[in-house]
Every structure is written in structure tokens, then in C-alpha cells.
Chains A and B, each alone.
Chain A
Amino acid sequence: MTDFSAISRRRFLGSSAALAGATAMGGVLGAGSALAQTPLTVGFIYVGPKGDFGYNQAHAEGAAAVKAMPGVTVLEEENVPESVDVKNTMESMINFDSATLIFPTSFGYFNPHILELAPKFPNVRFQHAGGLWTPDNPANIGSYFGYIGMGQYLNGVAAGHASVTKKIGFVAAKPIPQVVNNINSFLLGARSVDPSITCQVIFTGEWSLAVKEAEATNALCDQGCDVITCHVDGPKVVCETAAGRGAFVCGYHADQTALAGDKYLTGAEWNWARVYTGMIETVQSGGTIDNFVRGGLAENFIKMSPLGPAVSDAGRAQFEATKAEIMAGGFAAYKGPLKDNTGAEVVPAGGSLIETDVAIESIGYLVEGVIGSTS
């Protein structure tokens, strides 16, 4: 063979450009184009594929509901990395397709990409999922998110009734506050049924690592965990592996009944369809969306999957009762006295952290009963 320097530079550049073109084609074709000029053009940007049975699918279902509304053109682009790519995508949606409302749905899009672009396009509204907006940020940025931890609490209630071994498992991606809160909520929900239940957590270290997620699920099943839930981008692998090992499954992000069948207890799902159509209606009627929007079960930001056939009557009753309590507002999953899993007191006796407490958004400890560590 020849040595590397013997390639003609022109030929190398030519062939690599052709390849780049070929690989980029997927993205371009996927973006679609807006042909009809309608009063409102809305762009949705996803970090992963739209059909991942998870985070991105939940947003894409919301976008599909918007698409069905009159007078709206929807643009979508998937697999957009949290890098300068998202800026290019947003700019092309604004400049070429005249989008005036953009939903960049991944956490990492916010800083610096949305923050840098927003002042350049004051007439465009940037609605970011993740809830990071502060009054110092430009007024044409909005943040919204849901209290999905309550959904994991309800998952825990269903899990607490289904578990025989009194050990439940959680496959987690990264130890960020949202994930940590979900783990805590799952266990606290289960402990509202039986205080002796423990929850084993395994961190995989990445949002999407199929083989490691499968290994983690198998390791949990080997240790006798008989109800498994997760917080990774696409729960498909965890659901299928756990159900295949005979464990019950609680879903996350979207409805995974189809994947786990009879083993599916319930799941904490996003309900973006309701949120997005509401926001579009506000804009269409000439109003402005609030810069900082939050909601839970009562506000229809999240919903629960239909209960599976394995949920007992007692489980069903407690699930519905707890759900009604949460719907009434002011529900606290964290009730004092509560220790973390190193023995330090985190909520004093008589104290509590209710659903909407901002302290939950920076939570860093795993509560007593969770076997695992965030580092």
C-alpha cells in the first residue's frame, strides 16, 4: 500500500466533500420544508430520534398535536446535537422557513446556543424545555417543564404493591437533580406502601448506551430487584430486558405498554400535546406565553400510563388515592424526618418539600433506602 502523503490533495478533498454531502442528506431530508405560507410557523428541535419510545418521542407527540391545529405549519428536525448545530438549525428555521416560535427541546440547547441567538432575533420566541430561564435572560426566551417526579412517586406506589422481594431497581443515566429526584420519588412512593422496601440504582453515565443499559438491568435482576424503572433517553432496552427477565416494569417519558406487555405496571409520561397546543392557542389569540411555565399532573403537564393487569386491587386503590392527593396540589413526597443514604438528616421532623419547592431542582442526595451513590 501507499503511504498517506501520496494521496493527491484534490482527490482527498473531493471525495471527503462528497461523503460529507451524502451523510448530511439525512438531516436535510428529515427537516422537511414549508411550502405554504401560513400565519404561524413553529419549529421543533429534538436531540435524538423522534421514535425513541422516550424523551424525544414525547415531544414529537406534542408536535404532532400542534400539526393538527388550523393555521399552523410545523417544522421538525431530529438528532440535532447540543452544539453549534442547534444554532444553525434554529437560524435556518428562522431565515428560510420564517419560523417565529421555536421549541428547542433538549436541556443543553439553552446555554449558550439559545442565549446567544435570542438577542439577534427579537421577533422570534424561543421556548426551551428544561426550565432554566431567569429574569436576567432576554424576554423572548421562555422556559417550561413538568413535575415528573410526582409521576415517579406514583410509579413507586404501583411498584410497592407489586414487589415480592421488596427490592426495586432504577437504571439511571447521570446524577443530575432531575434524575436524583426521580430516584428518590420512586423509592418514597414505594415506601408509602411498605417502609422496608429498598431501591437499587445503577448509573450508566450516559443518556443513551444500549449495551450498558441492558447490562445494568440484568445486574439489577440478578440481585433480586423485581420492579425496574429508569431515567435514560430511550427506555426501550431497559423495558424489554427487564420484562424478558420476568421483572415488572414502570415506564418513563412515554407509554411503553407495547414493549413490556403484562409486566407493565404504569408509567410516568410527559403530556406535551396538551402543553404545546395551549401555548399555540395563546400565541394565535394574540397573547404572550409566560417566560417561566411549570406544571404537574393537575396542570396536565404529565400523565400516567393506564395501569397494567398486574396491579392488584389494593394497589389500584392506593394509586388512585395518591393521584387524587397530588391533583389537589401541595403534595410532598419528601416528608420529615428524612435522612439521606449516608445517614445525614435532610428534612427535619415536621418539615417537607412539596412538589413545587425550588430546593428539589438542585437536589443532590439520595434518600435513605436508595442503594447507590451519585459519584
Chain B
Amino acid sequence: MDPVDIGLWGVPLAILAGAIRVSTPFLFVSLGECLTERSGRINLGLEGTLIFGAMSGYAVAYETGSPFLGVGAAALAGVVFGLVHGWICKFKGVNDIAIGIALMLLGTGLAFFFGKPYIQPVAPKLPSISLGGWSDVPQVQSALQVNVLFLVGAILAVFLWWMFRSTRVGLVIRVVGDSTDAARAMGLNADRVRLLSTAAGGAFAGVAGAYLSLYYPGSWNEGISSGQGLMAVALVIFARWNPINCFWAALLFGGAGALGPALQSVGVTQGYYLFFAAPYVLTLGLLIATSSPERAMQGAPAELSITK
């Protein structure tokens, strides 16, 4: 199919396409972190989990020929990292932020070590769904190639929001996150709730890694993440611990990240380093615009070590 000259329409199209393509890892990691933080713990190790998930997902997909088994393996690896974090943090005197940083380094190091033989091979990719069949423009069709994981992430965001708001499980997580004492008084085992929340959060981060290596950009190498796991952790604070907001924040970051290359492609070539900084400038701007001394840290779980 011959490409159609779309000129300046390339910019909004690239932002839309970028929002769909690039946002998924942000979405999964931030949902995972949101769940963990709602239970009162911070897991900074999700960057390491993401990278290890990317490696293990790619490796398993290559060995078995099935990208879905790869996603499963990445989720499982994420659970293991989450369980380790949750288990260590239950001991007295252990700081969850320090353990998170340690696990981030460990996950990254292990992924690099075991991932060596998988940099070269080409693993099967996750399939995508074409939602652009209505358009004759190949660029639009390409932009609307939506991966299943993006849709799963969107549904998951709504599900988590509903779970926190109106289910018993959600209430238990929120109680544990807001007051350990209240949870104890209710007869809840706070450590177990946090262990399970961290494990589930780790699984989400693992899936995010598998998306990177198995769909977009679709290759395993040691520079695959470039800090996306860390940015997603910051997104949770930006999204005020609300899963629906996590979804919008992830879309925003994905779209803003596409701005730099898209502007260069239509001939706006001066100052591209500035456009590459767009996601961060945007975050700063939004944080300043939405901040207020009266309702600082609104929505923050009270047991989080950063809010205490």
C-alpha cells in the first residue's frame, strides 16, 4: 500500500499512536505501584522487575515460540520479585524504599546476566488488533494497531478503581494502607495483605516488561527500559493513587514522548532536545497547576513512608 502524504497531520497522529504504543508499560507499572502503595508500601524495585520481565518474557517466548507464554513467565517473575520485597519488608527495622532500590539493582543485574544469549535471537511478537480498517490512509491504520495488552491495561484500570471503591478486598487494602493499627483491630494481617499486594504489583510490572520486549519496540537489549519503570512510579503520585488517573497519566506520557520525533519528521528540527523533555516539563507543569497547600498529598495512603 502506498503511503499518503499527510504532512502536518503526522504530529497529532504520532501523538495518538504514541499514546497507544508507548503508554502500555507506563500503565501496567503504575497500576502495579498504585496497588502496592494503596496497601501502605512503596516498591521502587519495579524498574528492575520491568527489565527482568522484559528479559524473561523474551527468553521464554523465544524458547517456546509462544509470546503469550512469555507474558506469563514475565508475570511470574514479577510475582517472585514482589514476594521477595514483601517478605523482606515485613521484618522490623527494614525500610521499603531501600529494599526497593536494592531489588531494582538486583533485577537489572540478573536480567543483564541471564539475558546475554537472547540479545541476538528474534522472538515471536505479540499480535495486535487492527482498529483502523475504516480508514484508507495506511498511516492511520498503522497508528491504530492496538495491542491486546493495552486493552487489558485499560480494563484493569477500571477494575482496580471499582475494586478499591466497592469491594471487600479493596476495602481491606485501603484499611491496611491507611492505618496498620485499625487493620490489626479488625483482625487483618497487614503483612500478608501487603505481601500479596506487592506480589500482584510485581506481576503487573513484569507484564509491562514483556510488552516492551515482545511488542513495542519488540526486542530485548540492555537499554530497553530507559527508566520507564521509575517514571511510572512517579506517575502514581501524579495520578493521586487513583487507577483511572494512572490510565490518563500513562496516555499523556506516551503521547508526549512521541512529540519529539514527530516534530522532527515534519521539519520542526530546531531544539529537539527541548521537545524530548516534553513529558517531564508537562509533568512539572501539571503538578504545579494541581498542587495546593490545603490538600497536599490528597489521596495518599497514610501508612506510606513518604507521607509519615
Interface of A with B (CB < 8 Å)? 1-4, 6-8, 11-12, 15-16, 19-20, 22-26, 29-30, 48-49, 51-53, 79, 164-165, 200-206, 208-216, 218-224, 226, 234, 236-237, 240-241, 245-246, 258-259, 371-373, 375
Determine which of A20, A23, A24, A222 lies in contact with B14 in the assembled complex, contact meaning CB atoms within 8 Å.
A222
Report the Cα distance A4→B267, complex, angstroms: 50
User: Which B residues lie within 8 Å of A373 (CB)?
Assistant: 269-270, 272
Q: Are A22 and B106 in contact (CB under 8 A)?
A: yes
A35–B257 CA distance with the chains assembled, in angstroms: 49
Least CB separation from B119: chain A residue: A51
A237→B116 contact, CB < 8 A: no
Q: Are B94 and A2 in touch, CB under 8 angstroms?
A: yes
User: Are B119 and A49 in contact, with the CB atoms below 8 A?
Assistant: yes
Instruction: Flag if A52 contacts B119 (CB, 8 Å).
Output: yes
A-B CB contacts (within 8 Å), total count: 184
Interface contact B6-A222, CB-CB below 8 Å: yes
Query: Are B222 and A7 within 8 A (Cβ)?
Result: no
Contacts A/B (CB < 8 Å), 16 sampled: A1-B95, A3-B308, A7-B94, A23-B108, A51-B117, A51-B119, A203-B272, A205-B272, A206-B226, A210-B217, A210-B219, A215-B21, A215-B22, A223-B265, A372-B264, A373-B272
Contact A164 B2, beta carbon cutoff 8 Å: yes
Chain A residues lying within 8 Å of B105, measured Cβ to Cβ, are 19-20, 23
Query: Could you say which residues of chain A place their CB within 8 Å of the CB of B266?
Result: 223
Cβ-defined contact, A1 with B106, below 8 A: no
B3 touches A226 (CB 8 A): yes
**Contact of B80 with A by CB under 8 A:** no
- Give complex CA distance A20, B108 in Å: 12
Residues of the A chain whose Cβ atoms lie less than 8 Å from the Cβ of B117: 51
Contact among B106, B221, B262 for A219, CB-based, below 8 A: B262
Give the residue among B97, B98, B269 with the most A Cβ atoms within 10 A. Answer: B269
Chain B residues closer than 8 Å to A19, beta-carbon distance: 102, 105-106
Q: Which of B102-140 touch A at CB < 8 Å?
A: 102, 105-106, 108-110, 112-113, 116-117, 119-120, 122, 139
Contact, CB under 8 Å: A211 / B22: yes
A53 touches B120 (CB 8 A): yes
Q: B278-299, CB under 8 A of A: which get 1 and which 0?
A: 0000000000000000000000
Question: B170 contacts which chain A residues (CB < 8 A)?
Answer: none
Closest residue to A236 on the B side, CB-wise?
Answer: B219
Q: Which residue of B lies closest to A370 (CB)?
A: B269
Q: Which residue of B lies closest to A25 (CB)?
A: B113
Whether B93 lies near A2 (C-beta < 8 A) is yes
Residues of B within 8 A of A219 (CB): 10, 14, 258, 261-262, 264-265
Partner of B221, one of A201, A236, A258: A236
Q: Is A218 a contact of B257 with CB atoms below 8 Å? A: no
Min CB distance B32 to A, Å, is 19
Instruction: Verify B223–A210 contact, CB threshold 8 A.
Output: yes
Are the C-beta atoms of A4 and B95 separated by less than 8 Å?
yes
Contact in complex: B221, A371 (CB < 8 Å) = no
A237 to B3 alpha-carbon distance, docked (Å): 21
Task: Give the complex CA separation of A371 and B265 in angstroms.
Answer: 8
- B17 close to chain A: CB less than 8 A: yes
Q: How far is the CA of A11 from the CA of B94 in the complex (A)?
A: 9
Spell out B's residues near A (CB within 8 Å).
Answer: 1-6, 10, 13-14, 17-18, 21-22, 40-41, 89, 92-98, 102, 105-106, 108-110, 112-113, 116-117, 119-120, 122, 139, 142-143, 212, 216-219, 221-224, 226, 228, 257-258, 260-262, 264-267, 269-273, 276, 303-305, 308
| Nearest CB on B from A269, distance (A) | 16
Sample of 8 more A-B contacts, CB < 8 Å, known A25-B109, A26-B109, A211-B212: A4-B95, A210-B217, A211-B216, A215-B260, A218-B142, A222-B262, A223-B10, A372-B264
A209 close to B265 (CB less than 8 A):
no
The listed residue (B119, B122, B217, B270) touching A211 by CB distance below 8 A is B217
Given contacts A3-B305, A215-B261, A222-B14, contact A30 B221 (CB under 8 A): no
State in angstroms the CA–CA spacing of A252 and B5 once bound together. 28
- Interfacial chain A residues near B267, Cβ < 8 Å: 371
Known A-B contacts A1-B41, A7-B98, A219-B14; the reply to A23 vs B216 at CB < 8 A is no
Give bound CA distance, A49 to B219, whole Å: 14
Residue pair B217, A214 in contact (C-beta under 8 Å) = yes
Given A2-B95, A49-B116, A219-B265, check contact A211 B272 (CB 8 Å).
Answer: no
| The residue from B18, B219, B261, B264 contacting A237, defined by CB atoms under 8 A apart | B219
In the bound assembly, the distance between CA atoms of A79 and B222 in angstroms comes to 9
* Cross-chain contact A211 with B257 (CB below 8 angstroms): yes
- Using Cβ atoms and an 8 Å threshold, which residues of chain A touch B269? 371-373
The 7 closest A-B pairs by CB, nearest first: A23-B109, A373-B269, A214-B217, A26-B113, A219-B265, A208-B223, A216-B261
Q: Given A12, A20, A220, A375, which contacts B98 in the complex, CB threshold below 8 Å?
A: A12
Contacts of A216 in B (CB 8 A): 261, 264-265
A6-B93, A49-B116 known; A220 vs B222 contact (CB < 8 Å): no
Across the two chains, which residue of chain B brings its CB closest to A214?
A: B217
Complex Cα–Cα for A12 and B101 (A): 12
